[in-house]
Structure 1
Amino acid sequence: MTTSPDPDAVRIGTFEREQCVEALGEHFAAGRLETGEYEERVTAALGAQTKADLVPLFADLPEPHPPVLRPPGPPPVPAFSPYPQPVYGYTPAARGLSDKSKLATGLLQILLPFGIGRLYAGHVGIGLAQLLVVLVTCGAGALWPIIDGIVILANGGYDGQGRRLLE
């Protein structure tokens, strides 16, 4: 039968001791501790081996207390999960899709080869670059937006916010 040790009896490390010294320094700077008492508590904090050794050093002091003496909070929520998360909602944005159409974007690129489809999808930089290329080359650069439109129609694409275009 295994029993988990008392959390106050678990050994602490140098990092936790330094956090205590820092918190005691803030109390000293605020005038809550006399010089001699501050030195005694710092010496005790540096010599502490367990969390239980640190508790009396802060028993009569208000916050800030070092993080090692605070109760544990909820576990952190991971920013990225490799597993797909369920998405509820009926709007395209709630499902991670753009409100822009793949068909409209591709056709605008082909029929108006000035980067209009890219501007419609929210890619302002690419749209303006295509417009400038077409204008500078007197229309010879229109091949880029036309090919871009064909690729969008064939493979789909993303809007300016990185969401997949609607089918």
Structure 2
Amino acid sequence: MSEPHQVRIGNQQREAAISALNDHFAAGRLEIGEYEQRVGYATAAETAAELMALFHDLPQPHPQLQPPPQTYYAPPTDYATPPPGYASKGYATPNHGYGPPPGFPPNAPYGLDPLTGQPLSDKSRIAAGVLQLVLPFGIGRFYIGDTGIGVAQLLTCGGCGIWSLIDGIILLVNGGTDSQGRKLRD
């Protein structure tokens, strides 16, 4: 390792030096011009030695320059499980190479319905409802895989907009199921 005074410093050490210079200026040990010059040097300092040179002719207080902490992060050893919290945030999909979170069956990467215990869909009820309301031609139904109702709404222009409007509200409030019969997730 390099010499302790040749280690690069950070903003915290520069601020400590400026604070000590403020104390010396307030005590009348430094004139205004010399104080400004030393603060400029402290701001531009890159090593502990450069900061300590600013205090060679001054009594205490001197800044306490602690070496930066040496942190070591061990590389992960188990690549089959996700990092903590990764799966619970909805990222546990087969595309990411991680399995479902512990306690979930492999066929339920988006969780289980708390009432029925059935796997949740990868489709969102909010997205389906908003698509139904904004694009009233069965687009929300196409999104969840219900192509039969989607085609019917497309051919009737969403029942002149009324059918799509009601269907969108129902999807937003109650949800529904996708083409595989799984409940839409929130």
TM-score band w.r.t. shorter chain? 0.3 to 0.5
| Bigger helix fraction | 1
Higher relative contact order (CA 8 A, sep 6+): 1
**TM-score, reference length from structure 2:** 0.38
**TM-score, reference length from structure 1:** 0.43
